[in-house]
């Protein structure tokens, strides 16, 4: 596997703090700098499509993905994303085939998936540590191999967003209108759901299942308050997510603070949201 | 042969059943080429559903047959929905909306100059150039419908499908919208198919009318079709409405 040393050296140079000399901190920062903007960009459409509950269901499937890995004797690194994808596509497919409301279908899958995970874990008491990682995230234990995974997803996702961003905005407004006017709505929806499932799974790694939705929607929601166009919204979401990731990681390492990294990142982005809401109230359009 | 030359398409025995309820029952109707065809009927008559069969958004039994000299399967269709429910917090500008189906390069780098000038022309043609940089959510109902009309025209349609275009528009806006559509239809030569329950609008602007109440009650040119008997048959015996409509028909007749 190729070395990531150059990137780590650049990060250590850009942030010349004592703790940035530690390799797990360098990996954590790089991981967050990849995951946070991915989540923020996908979050723009999650907010447009009202898919926060969908993302939450996928996040919870990460737990079951770990459990499945235990049963099958495969590393959770593989079973988590694979199972997340499977659940994401299953929900999308059911939504298209059923006359039930979308959130009802998601709720059904959500409970089924979580119940399956709990059932498996209740038979294997030694997975308690995995459960804690699942709940709170653990970006500090991320490995080079994980980083390569995320880097690959990062490139695929941004290539997709580059070509699909405008169309996704269009079909978010009215999918019938977009479809009649020649947009291949179902293709975009399925690719989007697949990528979103993967981003959510990796975000669970970073901030845990309780906060995964925050990583997606807070930068997007704040960006909505600041931006005057959908082009600007993209840049605001990216900047807010990156600044929150860096500040969150650094603040969490201050010895007098010493909080969970994921939670601190989300808290910083929450402050962004408050500022954006005040801006929108008093200065926005 | 002559019929085929004057017809854009036909609904042949189109039936739709949703959740056990028959929404459309063997609908047979013709949409003449270049016409302004209006589908009229009471609430729940299946008007919107009939449009959705055409847009392939609902499954149906029967056939929709297109008559095209070039043997094309489908004409280019543009669509103006009833009312675009958008969340007002979405920061998407009218200009971005106008080109979102055409521009590949993401809006992160702005709207491309060439597409922008084309979109501005279209907005100008519906008197909406002043709102180009406004948020979509800030538009009034009438402004939104005119932007949607401009967007539809950008598709260079052969068939323009409108679902209650003036449902959320005030009277002034409605008159302007109808006049614009008449003007464009004559200039660009497309066929217009709209759902409406505003009989005044229909009698003034439609050249062909389909009276629908789950099945076709009557069909033909506006003045001959919007009769007291037909309206009573589809709307029920509502004399006041029938009376007003009759006046409208008389006026339309005189205008013609």
Express each pLDDT in B153-183 by its tens digit.
999 999 999 998 877 788 888 888 888 988 9
Of the two residues A55 and B256, the one the predictor is more confident about is A55
CA B219, CA A264: separation in Å to the nearest integer?
Answer: 67
Nearest beta carbon to residue A180 from set B79, B92, B105? B79
Query: Phi/psi zone of residue A7: left (φ > 0), alpha (ψ -120 to 50 degrees), beta?
Result: alpha
Q: From CA B80, how far away is CA A19, in angstroms rounded?
A: 58
Q: CA of A228 to nearest chain B CA: how many angstroms apart?
A: 5
Does B97 contact A232 at a Cβ distance shorter than 8 Å?
no
Return residues 220-279 of A near B (CB < 8 Å): 224-225, 227-235
Q: CA–CA separation, A216 vs A237, rounded Å?
A: 10
Pick one of 3.40.50.300, 1.10.3470.10, 3.40.1390.20, 1.10.3720.10 as the CATH number of A5-282: 1.10.3470.10
- Phi, psi angles (nearest 5°) of residue B102: -110, -35
Task: Closest CB to A176: pick one of B81, B108, B110.
Answer: B81
Between B22 and B255, the higher pLDDT residue: B22
What is the band of B249 on the pLDDT scale with cuts at 50, 70, 90?
very low
d(CA A66, CA A70): 6
Task: Encode pLDDT of B79-118 as tens digits.
Answer: 998 877 777 888 999 999 999 999 999 999 999 999 999 9
CA B71 to centroid of chain Cα atoms:
24
Spatial distance between the Cα atoms of A141 and A185, rounded to a whole number of angstroms: 39
Contact between B75 and B68 under an 8 Å Cβ cutoff? The reply is: yes
- Which is more confident, B134 or A138? B134
Kindly calculate the radius of gyration of chain A based on its CA atoms and give it in whole angstroms.
19
Q: Which helix (H) or strand (E) holds A79?
A: helix A76-97
Contact B57 A176 (CB under 8 A): yes
Give the pLDDT confidence of B31-42 residue by residue, as tens digits: 999 999 999 988
- B190-202 per-position pLDDT tens digit: 999 999 877 888 8
Could you give the 3-state DSSP secondary structure of residue B72? coil
For residue B184, give how far its alpha carbon lies from the nearest alpha carbon of chain A (Å).
Answer: 18
What's CA B9's distance to the chain center, in Å? 15
Number of other CB atoms surrounding residue A122 within 10 Å: 10
> Tens-of-pLDDT digits for all 285 residues of chain A?
678 889 998 998 999 888 888 889 999 999 999 999 999 999 999 999 999 999 999 999 988 888 888 788 888 888 999 999 999 999 999 988 888 898 999 999 999 999 998 888 787 766 666 677 777 888 888 889 889 999 999 999 999 999 999 999 999 988 889 999 989 999 999 999 999 999 999 898 888 888 899 999 999 999 999 999 999 999 999 999 999 999 999 999 998 998 989 899 999 999 999 999 999 998 875
């Amino acid at each position: 596997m190729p070395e990531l040393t150059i990137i780590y050296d650049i990060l250590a140079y850009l942030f010349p703090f004592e703790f940035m000399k530690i390799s797990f901190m360098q990996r954590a920062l790089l991981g967050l700098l990849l995951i946070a903007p991915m989540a923020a960009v996908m979050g723009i459409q999650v907010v447009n499509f009202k898919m926060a509950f969908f993302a939450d269901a996928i996040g919870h499937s990460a737990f079951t993905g770990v459990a499945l890995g235990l049963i099958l004797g495969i590393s959770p690194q593989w079973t988590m994303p694979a199972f997340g994808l499977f659940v994401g596509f299953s929900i999308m497919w059911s939504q298209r085939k059923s006359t039930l409301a979308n959130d009802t279908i998601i709720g059904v899958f959500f409970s089924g998936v979580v119940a399956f995970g709990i059932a498996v874990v209740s038979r294997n008491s030694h997975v308690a540590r995995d459960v804690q990682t699942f709940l709170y995230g653990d970006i500090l234990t991320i490995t080079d191999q994980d980083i390569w995974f995320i880097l690959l997803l990062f490139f695929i996702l941004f290539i997709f967003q580059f070509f699909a961003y405008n169309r996704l905005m269009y079909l978010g407004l009215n999918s019938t209108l977009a479809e009649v006017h020649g947009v291949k709505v179902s293709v975009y929806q399925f690719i989007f759901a697949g990528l979103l499932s993967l981003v959510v799974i990796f975000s669970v790694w970073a901030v845990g299942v309780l906060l995964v939705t925050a990583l997606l929607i807070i930068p997007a929601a704040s960006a909505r308050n600041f931006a005057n166009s959908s082009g600007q919204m993209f840049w605001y979401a990216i900047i807010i997510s990156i600044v929150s990731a860096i500040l969150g990681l650094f603040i969490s390492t201050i010895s007098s603070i010493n909080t969970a990294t994921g939670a601190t990142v989300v808290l910083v982005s929450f402050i962004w949201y408050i500022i954006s809401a005040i801006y929108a109230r008093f200065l926005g359009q | 042969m002559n019929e085929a030359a004057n017809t854009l398409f036909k609904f042949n025995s189109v039936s739709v059943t949703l959740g056990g309820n028959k929404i459309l029952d063997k609908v047979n109707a013709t949409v003449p080429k270049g016409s302004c065809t209006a589908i009229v009927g009471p609430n729940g008559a299946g008007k919107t559903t009939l449009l959705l069969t055409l847009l392939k958004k609902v499954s149906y039994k029967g056939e929709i047959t297109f008559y095209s000299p070039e043997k094309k399967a489908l004409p280019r269709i543009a669509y103006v929905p009833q009312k675009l429910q958008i969340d007002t917090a979405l920061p998407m500008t009218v200009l971005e909306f106008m080109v979102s189906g055409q521009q590949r390069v993401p809006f992160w780098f702005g709207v491309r100059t060439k597409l922008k000038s084309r979109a501005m022309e279209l907005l100008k043609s519906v008197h909406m150039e002043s709102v180009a940089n406004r948020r979509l959510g800030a538009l009034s109902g009438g402004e939104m419908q005119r932007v949607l009309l401009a967007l539809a025209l950008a598709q260079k349609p052969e068939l323009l499908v409108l679902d209650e275009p003036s449902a959320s528009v005030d009277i002034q806006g409605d008159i302007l919208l109808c006049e614009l559509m008449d003007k464009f239809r004559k200039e660009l030569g497309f066929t217009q198919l709209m759902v409406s329950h505003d009989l005044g609008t229909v009698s003034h602007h439609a050249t062909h009318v389909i009276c629908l109440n789950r099945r076709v009650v009557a069909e033909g040119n506006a003045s001959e079709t919007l009769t007291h008997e037909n309206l009573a048959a589809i709307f029920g015996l509502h004399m006041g409405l029938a009376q007003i409509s009759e006046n409208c028909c008389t006026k339309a007749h005189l205008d013609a």
